Amino acid sequence: MNLEQLRLFACVAEYGSLTKAAVALDSQQSVVSRQLSSLETELGGRLFYRTGRGVTLTELGTTLLPRAQRLLRDIEDLAQDMKAHADVPGGDVRFGILPAFSYPLVNQLYRQTRERYPRVKLHLFEGSNGQLQEWVASGRVDIALLYRYESIDSASERVLGKTDAYLVGSAGDRVTSQPTITFRELENLPLVVPSTPNALRSSLDQFARRAGISLTIAMEADSLPIQKSIVADGGLYTIIGRQAVTREIDTGLLQASRIVDPAIERTAILLATTQRSYTIATRAVTGLIEPLAISLLARYPASS
Q: Which of 160, 182, 128, 164 is nearest to 266 (CA)?
A: 164
Q: How many Å apart are CA 19 and CA 133, to the nearest integer?
A: 35
Instruction: Give kind and range of the element (H or E) at residue 214.
Output: none
Q: What is the CA radius of gyration of the chain?
A: 24
Looking at residue 8, what is its pLDDT? 85
Residue 1: count other Cβ atoms within 10 Å of its Cβ: 11
Q: 278-293 burial, b if ≥16 CB within 10 A, otherwise e?
A: bbbbbbbbbebbeebb
Q: Which CATH superfamily is domain 87-160+267-298 in?
A: Periplasmic binding protein-like II (3.40.190.10)
pLDDT in the model for residue 164:
92
Quote the pLDDT of residue 171: 94
Residue 214, φ and ψ in degrees, nearest 5: -115, 135
First to last CA, the chain: 57
**The domain made up of 163-265 is a member of CATH 3.40.190.290:** yes
* Residues pairing with 256 in the sheet: 168
Taking a C-beta distance cutoff of 8 angstroms, is the pair 37, 5 a contact? no
- Phi/psi at 263 (5° precision): -80, 150
Q: Is 76 left (phi over 0), alpha (psi -120 to 50) or beta?
A: alpha
**Are 87-160+267-298 and 163-265 equal in CATH topology?**
yes
Q: What is the pLDDT of residue 32?
A: 86
- Would you state the pLDDT for residue 93? 94
Put simply, whether the predicted model's pTM sits higher than 0.85 gets the answer no
Report angle CA 194, 220, 175 to the nearest 5 degrees. Answer: 85
CATH of 3-83, one of 1.10.10.10, 3.30.360.10, 3.30.70.330, 3.30.2290.10: 1.10.10.10
β partners of residue 146: 269
Q: Amino acid identity, residue 83?
A: K
- Distance of alpha carbon 79 from alpha carbon 215, whole angstroms: 53
Q: Please state, as a whole number, how many other Cβ atoms lie within 10 Å of the Cβ of residue 298.
A: 11
The domain ranges of the chain are: 3-83, 87-160+267-298, 163-265
| pLDDT per residue as tens, the chain (304 positions) | 677 888 888 889 989 998 888 888 888 888 888 888 888 888 888 899 988 788 999 999 898 888 888 887 777 777 666 665 555 778 899 999 999 898 889 999 999 999 999 989 999 999 988 899 999 988 889 999 999 877 665 666 888 999 999 999 999 999 999 999 999 999 999 999 999 888 889 889 999 999 999 999 999 999 999 999 999 999 999 999 998 999 999 999 999 999 999 999 889 999 998 887 788 899 999 999 999 999 999 888 887 6
- DSSP string for residues in 154-210: -TTEEEEEEEEEEEEEETT-STTSSSEEEGGGGTT-EEEEPPSS-HHHHHHHHHHHH
In sequence order, the 6+-apart residues with CB closer than 8 A to the CB of 7 are: 25, 72
Phi, psi of 120 (to 5 degrees): -90, 130
Instruction: Please report the pLDDT score of residue 304 as a whole number.
Output: 62
